[in-house]
């Protein structure tokens, strides 16, 4: 029973633990979906015959729709009711997971991943907002935020292990099927234990959401197409042209919209604009790092999926350690030292990874640079979130932090497509160098397999793959360098902002 309550009070009494479990389960499902699928990528590639460049769409189809529609999903919860929108997103995500697990062709999986991204974009922002609807302001709500933050931080590690176990013990399809029973259970329990929020009048900026998402998708497609067919390919050129038109249309729509999905005034503040540039650059490098290292440890080092998942656990620990340190000392030191130090470590880690080769071991060539990279990212995550919302009016804090999250997803997709273009060019050049040696020394069986697949077998194929990956980390390091320069030259947080940052540390970090 819902009673008249003062602002900040919970809207539904009884079973708060179940309500929090439902909300946290949604966030966990959305967060781990990226890493749980990453571990399965080499097996998806073999099963559905993806090329390495096309395989990036398994990641980008999800992140583009998720990032592009994230702000629209948050707006929908305010206008239509958060619980209703939350359930819609969960059901859409669950259906997409089922369809993805049943996919028999590459396009079917990519369509399902895009649909997953839509569902995640609808459910994720409302799941956090539902905490304020369900839990009273004060210790109760703070504990709920703490659980939400822990799930968000730990989701990546759980996804890595779960993806490895499901892929190795069952099949890669179960990294998608596993969402189905969880999603159905959440959809059943949500109306029983979570109250509906009040609706607020407003408008949907459909034109802004579509032009931004389609514009970024065209840009990403152009890079991936160029990686396969070259820069003179007509489809690649057409995609770049379409991206320019759509993104210009997006800027025009947002400048005229009464309730824009991306308030352009958010970019007026120097610190906030710098924060978005840093997140865009770091995410662009991060998505590429995970994608290529997952392929390297499984295809070159011959790790099993479970071993690959375990190999990435130190990365999660380093990120959590860095985030904890920055959250603790940020009110004392301010955000800039963490941004500069963190970005420097990311640059060093990625530069180290440009040295990767077929003879690189996990301990010597993979773990060290990943730990530098991960600790640097940890120093940045909380810091960027708090800087993005500092100095913003309370009613605009959601838009500011939501835009940062969207920037992370879209930046990751764009960065991965750029790195894939470099990877494709470097791989082709290396394959041409290795081909004479292969034709002179390869066995008849190996040559027959090459004629069938077009892929050089080991050890020649390992040389090709390692050269492509090491070269791709050069622009990745350059992206991180842009973040470092921005942190050093653009960020100018005032002394008076430090108290505000300290005051928002708990809730902001929880989001």
Say whether pLDDT at 494 is over 70: no
More confident residue, 2 or 436: 436
More confident residue, 66 or 353: 353
Q: Are residues 39 and 131 in the same domain?
A: yes
Residue ending a domain, among 204, 224, 243, is 204
pLDDT, position 393: 63
Average pLDDT over residues 396-411: 74
Q: Are residues 272 and 284 in the same domain?
A: yes
- pLDDT band for 2, please (50, 70, 90 cuts): very low
Tens digit of pLDDT for each residue in 212-257?
A: 888 888 888 888 788 777 778 888 899 899 989 998 998 898 888 8
- pLDDT band for 489, please (50, 70, 90 cuts): very high
Q: Are residues 134 and 216 in the same domain?
A: no
Say whether pLDDT at 12 is over 50: no
High-pLDDT (> 70) share of the chain, %: 86
- DSSP character at residue 364: I
Task: Return d(Cα 321, Cα 329) in angstroms, integer.
Answer: 13
Q: Are 382 and 149 in contact (CB under 8 A)?
A: no
Q: Are residues 229 and 281 in the same domain?
A: no
- pLDDT band for 138, please (50, 70, 90 cuts): low
Q: Are residues 41 and 74 in the same domain?
A: yes
Q: Are residues 156 and 268 in the same domain?
A: no
Q: How many residues in the chain?
A: 511
Q: Are residues 223 and 145 in the same domain?
A: no
Tokens 């079973």 sit on residue: 15
Q: Are residues 227 and 277 in the same domain?
A: no
pLDDT, position 200: 62
Average pLDDT over residues 278-307: 90
Domain residues for 102?
A: 1-204
pLDDT, position 196: 67
Q: Are residues 381 and 310 in the same domain?
A: yes
- pLDDT band for 287, please (50, 70, 90 cuts): confident
Three-state secondary structure readout of 28-47: HHHHHHHHHHHHHHHHHHHH
Task: Return d(Cα 425, Cα 427) in angstroms, integer.
Answer: 5
For the chain, what is the mean pLDDT?
82
Q: Are residues 245 and 115 in the same domain?
A: no
Task: Return d(Cα 133, Cα 194) in angstroms, integer.
Answer: 8
Q: Are residues 291 and 233 in the same domain?
A: no
- 42-46, 322-326, 340-344: least confidently modelled range: 322-326
Q: Are 391 and 269 in contact (CB under 8 A)?
A: yes
Extended beta strands in 171-214, E state: none
Burial class (CB in 10 A: 0-12, 13-18, 19+), 145: buried
CATH of the domain at 147: 1.20.1250.20
Residue ending a domain, among 238, 256, 274, is 256
The total of structural domains in the chain comes to: 3
- 61-65, 150-154, 264-268, 493-497: least confidently modelled range: 493-497
Task: Return d(Cα 35, Cα 156) in angstroms, integer.
Answer: 6
Q: Are residues 65 and 163 in the same domain?
A: yes
Task: Return d(Cα 43, Cα 172) in angstroms, integer.
Answer: 6
Count of Cβ atoms closer than 10 Å to residue 2 Cβ:
10
More confident residue, 1 or 498: 498
């Amino acid at each position: 029973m819902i009673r008249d309550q003062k602002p900040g009070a919970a809207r539904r009494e009884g079973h708060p633990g179940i309500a929090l479990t439902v909300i946290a389960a949604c966030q966990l499902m959305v967060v781990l979906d990226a890493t749980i699928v990453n571990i399965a990528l080499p097996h998806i590639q073999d099963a559905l015959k993806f090329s390495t460049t096309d395989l990036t769409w398994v990641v980008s189809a999800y992140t583009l729709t998720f990032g592009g529609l994230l702000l629209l999903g948050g707006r929908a919860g305010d206008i239509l009711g958060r619980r209703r929108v939350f359930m819609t997103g969960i059901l859409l995500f669950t259906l997409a997971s089922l369809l993805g697990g049943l996919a028999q062709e590459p396009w079917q999986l990519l369509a399902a991943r895009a649909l997953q991204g839509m569902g995640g974009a609808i459910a994720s922002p409302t799941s956090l907002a539902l905490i304020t609807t369900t839990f009273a302001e004060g210790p109760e709500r703070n504990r709920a935020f703490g659980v939400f933050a822990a799930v968000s931080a730990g989701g990546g590690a759980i996804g890595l292990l779960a993806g490895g176990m499901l892929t190795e013990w069952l099949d890669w399809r179960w990294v998608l099927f596993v969402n189905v029973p969880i999603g159905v259970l959440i959809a059943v329990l949500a109306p029983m234990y979570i109250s509906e929020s009040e609706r607020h009048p407003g408008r949907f900026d459909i034109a802004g959401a579509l032009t931004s998402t389609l514009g970024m998708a065209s840009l990403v497609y152009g890079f991936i197409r160029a990686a396969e067919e070259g820069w003179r390919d007509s489809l690649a050129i057409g995609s770049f042209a379409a991206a320019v038109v759509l993104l210009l249309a997006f800027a025009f729509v947002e400048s005229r919209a009464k309730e824009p999905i991306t308030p352009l005034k958010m970019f007026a503040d120097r610190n906030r604009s710098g924060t978005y540039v840093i997140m865009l650059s770091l995410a662009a490098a991060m998505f590429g790092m995970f994608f290529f290292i997952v392929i390297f440890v499984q295809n070159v080092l011959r790790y099993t999926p479970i071993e690959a998942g375990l190999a990435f656990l130190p990365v999660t620990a380093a990120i959590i350690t860095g985030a904890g340190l920055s959250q603790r000392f940020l009110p004392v030191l301010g955000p800039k030292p963490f941004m500069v130090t963190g970005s420097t470590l990311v640059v060093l880690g990625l530069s180290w990874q440009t040295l990767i080769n077929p003879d690189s071991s996990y301990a010597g060539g993979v773990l060290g640079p990943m730990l530098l990279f991960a600790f640097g990212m940890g120093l940045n995550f909380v810091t960027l979130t708090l800087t993005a919302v500092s100095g913003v009016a309370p009613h605009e804090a959601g838009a500011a932090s939501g835009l940062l999250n969207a920037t992370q997803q879209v930046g990751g997709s764009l960065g991965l497509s750029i790195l894939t273009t470099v990877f494709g060019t470097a791989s082709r050049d290396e394959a041409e160098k290795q081909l004479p040696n292969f034709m002179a020394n390869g066995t008849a069986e190996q040559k027959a397999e090459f004629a069938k697949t077009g892929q050089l077998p080991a050890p020649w194929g390992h040389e090709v793959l390692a050269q492509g990956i090491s070269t791709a980390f050069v622009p990745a390091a350059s992206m991180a360098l842009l973040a470092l320069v921005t942190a050093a030259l653009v960020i100018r947080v005032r002394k008076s902002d430090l108290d505000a940052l300290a005051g928002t540390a708990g809730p902001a970090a929880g989001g």
